[in-house]
Amino acid sequence: MKAVWLVRSHQLLSRMRFWTAIVGYDSRDRSVSQRIYLIYVIVFFSLWGFAMLALIADPLARVLPLVRGFSPVQVAVILTTAVLLADFLLRSLHYARRSPFNFSEEDAQLICLTPVDRRKVAIAWLLGDWFPVALPYWAGVVALCFACQQLATPTGMVWLQLPVYILKGLRTVSIVLPLQLALMSFTYAFGALRLQRDREFTSLQRIPLVTGLCLLLLAIFLPTSLNILLFPILFPLMGGFGEAKWFSAFILVVLLAASSLLLLYLVTPQLNLSRAAQESNFPLKFQNPGMQGRKADTDR
């Protein structure tokens, strides 16, 4: 596992250096001035991010009450659920055709052609991909939370209420991040099923399409049944937006995330990393080594 995380951490650090270089911070410089500058960058972008989310929340606060028959919080929960499910189905459809594990050429040489534990590789790549994907969800739900708070506060958003907004935003994020991790882990497990040794499961592509169609029909004709079916998603989100008990909602999403990670761990022992590398961004470069790796996987 140390070798897997060593390769993965170097890859993630190289990405981080790209973003820190944009703001003028040199991660290799250990001087006091650079550390002070890092604190300044964190504070500046935190305040800037809060201001941007507050700016986005203002038009949202005018739109949410326009949906008749639902409270603003219910509209926020429905909107978040729809986005999460759409991303879940689209990812599942994509991973039924291409590998969810995207390797660079260096990763392919160091990991895909060596007898490392496939389960640990899958977990490491999932966690490395999860946080960048989760950032837009974090920003979106915080903006919706701020909008709901504006509607609940007669005076609107003022800087004197900054601690209240931060706490409510953290409450919502604490639910959405593990919930999104649970859904993303499930899609990775779904994609890993297609990469079991040399077997092809072409029927997997139909599952996301049929699931999406069934959810759409239930939403149109049997919305009550859909609410029951989506309870593991709707209830935690209600807790995140303050309409249900937060602790119960948090326990539920943690269990969902743990179950999805366990599922990914269980379906990846026979994961063919050579096939995953062939479906990454450099298939031609990896064509010959991939054939050798496929043989190595078959012999295991």
Q: What is the pLDDT of residues 17-45, one digit of tens each?
A: 666 666 666 666 677 777 787 787 788 88
- Residue 234 forms part of a structural domain: yes
Q: What is the pLDDT of residue 218?
A: 95
Low-confidence ranges of the chain (pLDDT < 50): 283-300
Q: What is the pLDDT of residue 300?
A: 45
Q: What is the pLDDT of residue 283?
A: 45
Q: What is the pLDDT of residue 91?
A: 95
Number of domains in the chain: 1
Owner of token pair 């593990």: 178
- Residue 6 forms part of a structural domain: no
Q: What is the pLDDT of residue 286?
A: 45
Task: Single out the residue of 47, 26, 48 nearest to residue 37, CA to CA.
Answer: 26
> Model-level pTM?
0.84
- Residue 12 forms part of a structural domain: no
11 within 8 A of 128, measured Cβ to Cβ: yes
116-160 pLDDT per residue, tens: 888 988 998 898 889 888 989 999 999 999 999 888 876 655 567
- Residue 19 forms part of a structural domain: no
Read off the tokens for 180: 């999104």
Q: Which residues contact 290 (CB under 8 A, 6 or more apart)?
A: 108, 112, 274, 275, 277, 278, 283
Question: What domain range includes position 243?
Answer: 27-299
- Residue 8 forms part of a structural domain: no
SS3 271: strand
Q: In angstroms, rounded to a whole number, what is the distance separating the alpha carbons of residues 175 and 137? A: 11
- Residue 3 forms part of a structural domain: no
- Residue 2 forms part of a structural domain: no
**Cα dihedral across residues 253, 254, 258, 264: positive or negative:** positive
- Residue 4 forms part of a structural domain: no
